[in-house]
Structure 1
């Protein structure tokens, strides 16, 4: 009843202004629901405080192109390195041409899969949207993968066509050879003078709008809820990577959530007149965070995307200044860079209106330091995972708690369960445990992996995230660590992220990673890897600094090692597994 009353209040948004909505979200405690179970125990669920949304029953490409006529002549994507660009009109025509040729030249149909093995580029959205329009599944591949890794994904996904850069031809050919499958390779030239193999297929010929009837496209009847549209692969930080089956409904629903008004306006605004939001995109499009949050959802708003193939200080700062960025989607390592790099000034940050951080936890102190460099920006944190398209938690304008990842997204439910509770019962505020979520953005399941699907999705649709979290009395959620990365000292649980944030607060420490190392007396001990800007900083000083601020079992008794950089994956997650393997090999 409390939930219904609260939602009714929020849905009357046409009668109250947006500031009142924010105030209602931040002050109401009426979105807890206690569901009685058969054993008279309670299951506490936290509902979204945001108004329910309408989700169109369309494919991804239909969603992206819905309003394209309003910004048909505006720039869609700019190559942040060469400054080559394409308008929305050109992108639409080239996408349709490629979709027709995928069907006619390669005989692709519903149930088939194509692979995209590219860094961020102008061509990336053309391929994804064309594949979707042609009715096929698109799997995205990390372009820095080895032939062994690429071939594994090609085999598992069943891809019959792969797109890649001309300079990658030896790697792509080796990958196809190792897969022992008949797979066509389509090459994208990095420059007009790039050379493709003699038996290679030129991407430019496939997007040529001359000599093709765009009405030749076969239009299939689509089940947007159950057909697999995208097949990204999970990071594999807790085992072999798995294909995540995402439907059109999953991606479109999450895009609508991401673009929705959470109280004081949406992070990006639809292009109108001379106004167009600008997003420098360094988050890889092959990862779901970059794909949904910075590419597909923003194309649907008519934004200008500045595609950067990789992060370098020079190229990123140039994009911020030259294109006067208004919206940033970032990961903690880039936020820490912008905070600590002396060359970052107001000329780079003055146009920034909104900043969203995700993919890994960011401490409150780190966020506050960043806002000193970007004084005109509103800061958000969000939380998501590949299995949820990805966003399930998001903060709103007006929240002063920058350390929180926010509330359940619109039409999304969340709960915290005690670790290993077989009944998955939700607990109340300020009790840490595993985060479970449920909503229209949650995956269909894992590809060719029934066992993992059953372990991750409960029978009533809850997604087990494997992350440790809690929520406060206002339902703001806080992610503390990965369930499988908790360090256990004498039975006590030590979240590495807590110690990492504490270490980064030290004035001489730029970055840090913490792992658990085996110990016969305690089970494990915390060990820190520290990047210092002061060569005179000693191990003992760091140990004493931490010991003064934490309980005894959290002290860095596993030692401290000074390193040049903390190893992280493409989305900024610390590769603790790699550090632990290095430590064990050294012993």
Structure 2
């Protein structure tokens, strides 16, 4: 899908009389004017508000534009490796197992070679990575990319049903997992009716290789790897590199096609905001956010490897590991979600003295209150806590704040080469609204996905004309050009930053022989943000307990999708004339 990226000459008509605005000419985004952010706002914020008759008000990026590099992701990550090839690239917080950049590069190439020669995988075949955060994760990903294989990233705590669905939708041809998860992956392959090779990482040195599994360490061993057999495809950087899954604005998980250019651009947009390449030090980045999620994959892992950072990988969240990564490993740059920020605020053992090198903490995936940000900054005065906004469909970053920001409640302004507009929620118009007017946030830029794989209906729903992506989030921007996200149109439930689509849980509930109808809504939770709560209508003459329903769902979903918000038995599920569940009414009655 080719995006038409246009911008218009700025005019400044009164906000109440947009009809008097003159139409403007089109230019490519990369020619956007630039300005340096100020302490409380961007300099000359009106300079980045444009108007045209077709699309209304559009906010452009106040950040300097980036160069569109047109590189595949593997070439982007390795392009400066000679500068730091002896530096440690990844290290496991638990085992201490580590790889220098030279070792990481050689192991990735070895894996790419064997994928092509031993398993006869070729250009466009999809490889599934079902791993926790391990130092080998980049090897699996970058090796596959170098071999010409797009990668679909799978949550390793998924059930066999969930993994099987993703393997089927992505048409995966090879799976990388752990020995611990091998049984579930094997069952998932059976459910997907796929006989796939499964390479596993043994987490303990004395661990036996499961019967039927392939030793991942043998595949990445540079010794005896014949690199001359590695076929280097002329891969189009606009072709798909990654296939993460997202629920979009509504419904079941969808396969998001992200190109090499999408992710490279987004990494460069992030770099414009922080200037880490010029810091003169190796950034030490605790890898606490899951790499299977786009936030962890690109913002934490790929973008930091591209600047020579050190990733301290953590397969799960444990307080002592986070402290160790910040204190002993001297973490400098931390990406987190609100529950981790709250933990850091409230955990007495974690003090400013324990994190002397932490310069930045960046928060995303869900909102955090201004009061909590102020509490964080009071406890860690030497660390800058910044918010950003994005989604899987945008690789993910779209809004970010300048590093000297004091507008704590804001998600920032459009990042480099990116435009944003606020349109009416009711869909009566797709024209952008002026400052301080509430509506749905729409994004346009080179980081926007190619589209959902094999899902024309979902693509038609999420895209407006001229390349505008609907986020499903409600917000506004102020007179200084800062955006504020205030609500969600989409029905996703956010549990500790993870997306839980109600439709998925409702489908499982309706399969229960005693349940006639079901609806799932979010219940506010201080720690998790939200928890799924089920409203259930039983079939006539049937009885069931909350525990029975809870366990039925728990056996079929990942931990964070369980009905920890509770189960309510009701007589009816309110629906509108078209049969759509009236979630607003359910939330008013049952969410508290």
- Equivalences for 1:261-410 in 2 at 5 Å? 262=273, 265-266=274-275, 268-269=276-277, 272=280, 275-410=281-416
Aligned equivalent of 1:253 = 265
Aligned equivalent of 1:547 = none
Check 1:242–1:581 CA distance in 2 against 1; reply closer, same or farther (3 A cut): farther
Matched, 1:142 2:155: yes
Cα distance in 1 between the residues matched to 2:294 and 2:522: 31
Aligned equivalent of 2:509 = none
Check 1:354–1:150 CA distance in 2 against 1; reply closer, same or farther (3 A cut): same
3-state SS of the aligned residue for 1:160? strand
Verify the 8 A CA contact 2:476 2:483 in the aligned structure 1: yes
**Could you report, residue by residue, the CA deviation over 1:49-104 in whole angstroms, capped at 9, with x for unpaired residues?**
11111021110000000101000000001101112211000000000000111111
**Could you report, residue by residue, the CA deviation over 1:11-40 in whole angstroms, capped at 9, with x for unpaired residues?**
5x8xxxx6x777882443221111113xxx
Matched, 1:90 2:98: no
**Could you report, residue by residue, the CA deviation over 1:508-532 in whole angstroms, capped at 9, with x for unpaired residues?**
xxxxxxx9xxxxxxxx999755579
3-state SS of the aligned residue for 1:382? strand
Cα distance in 2 between the residues matched to 1:574 and 1:123: 25
Aligned equivalent of 2:450 = 444
3-state SS of the aligned residue for 1:383? strand
3-state SS of the aligned residue for 2:245? coil
Aligned equivalent of 1:457 = 463
Unaligned runs of 5+ in 2: 1-8, 12-26, 496-501, 503-519, 529-558, 572-589
TM-score w.r.t. structure 1 length? 0.79
Verify the 8 A CA contact 1:471 1:478 in the aligned structure 2: yes
Cα distance in 2 between the residues matched to 1:52 and 1:131: 30
| Shift of residue 353, structure 1, vs aligned partner | 0.6
Check 1:312–1:525 CA distance in 2 against 1; reply closer, same or farther (3 A cut): closer
- Equivalences for 1:482-561 in 2 at 5 Å? 482-485=488-491, 529=525
Aligned equivalent of 1:33 = 50
Cα distance in 2 between the residues matched to 1:140 and 1:414: 28
Cα distance in 2 between the residues matched to 1:528 and 1:439: 33
3-state SS of the aligned residue for 2:181? helix
**Could you report, residue by residue, the CA deviation over 1:344-402 in whole angstroms, capped at 9, with x for unpaired residues?**
11232221111111000111111111011211112211000000000000000222101
3-state SS of the aligned residue for 2:176? strand
Cα distance in 1 between the residues matched to 2:321 and 2:131: 18
Aligned equivalent of 1:563 = none
Q: Which moved more, 1:318-327 or 1:26-35?
A: 26-35
Check 1:424–1:9 CA distance in 2 against 1; reply closer, same or farther (3 A cut): closer
Unaligned runs of 5+ in 1: 487-495, 501-514, 516-523, 533-572
Aligned residues: 495
Check 1:107–1:372 CA distance in 2 against 1; reply closer, same or farther (3 A cut): same
Check 1:527–1:371 CA distance in 2 against 1; reply closer, same or farther (3 A cut): same
Cα RMSD, aligned residues only: 2.9
TM-score w.r.t. structure 2 length? 0.79
Cα distance in 2 between the residues matched to 1:525 and 1:305: 37
3-state SS of the aligned residue for 1:484? coil
Aligned equivalent of 1:566 = none
Equivalent in 234, 237, 240 of residue 246 of structure 2: 234
- Equivalences for 1:54-69 in 2 at 5 Å? 54-69=67-82
Aligned equivalent of 2:256 = 244
Equivalent in 14, 36, 43 of residue 56 of structure 2: 43
Aligned equivalent of 1:431 = 437
Cα distance in 2 between the residues matched to 1:527 and 1:74: 46
Verify the 8 A CA contact 2:129 2:154 in the aligned structure 1: yes
Cα distance in 1 between the residues matched to 2:407 and 2:353: 27
